[in-house]
A = this chain, B = another copy of it.
Amino acid sequence: MIRINKELLNYVNHLYQLGTEGNIIEQTFEPTEQIIKSGQNVFSVYVIKSGMAKCYLTEDTGNDFIQEFFAEGEIFGEIEAIREDISFCTIEASSPLVLYKIPLAYFNELLLKNNVFNRLILKALANKINYKAIRHSYNQSHPVESKLLRLKANFPDFNKLLPKQEIANYLGITVRSLNRTLNDLKAKGLIS
């Protein structure tokens, strides 16, 4: 649910310290600001220094489906950079955000010339595929109750961190179903 990548953050932080040519700059955003918008061009790759953002797709039904919440060290814009395509999702600040902004040209240069960076990106991509595969499979094969228990197990205080609508959008259900299931779980003593 809330993804981090400390290793990548450390490395980008290191690149930033080097400070050569001012290639990487810091940028801040306030909650609800959108950094990348679905269907638009992406001119930079971003790594989160601090704060949290949500990554979501808006469906033709009007529903938002939240892919993940990104926190320290998570990268976004890299898929679009590598595919040389417009964005397929929207990234929106969930809290005050501080980002490292890497221009496309420099990102590609790093990929080509910096083995360490290249490997970190390969790993970041492989991890995304891994968790996406597991999550999709789980979501398709289990009822809401199981999904909620799983979420609770991984993020005990999810219901304090996020509004109900966001939790529902993350689970791909309605708020009504979420409330109903939370009540069932409370009645069974499986949740506080």
Contacts and interface: CB of A to CB of B under 8 A. Distances in A.
Interface of A: 57, 59, 61, 63, 65, 67, 78-79, 82-83, 85, 88-89, 111-112, 115, 118-119, 121-123, 125-130, 132-142, 172
Contacts of A133: 57, 67, 88-89, 132
A79 B115 contact: no
Contacts of A132: 129, 132-133, 136
A107 to B, nearest CB: 11
The copy count of this chain in the complex is 2
Contacts of A142: 59, 61
Contacts of A134: 57, 88
A128 B82 CA distance: 12
Nearest to A65: B137
Contact of A130 (B59, B83, B112, B123): B83
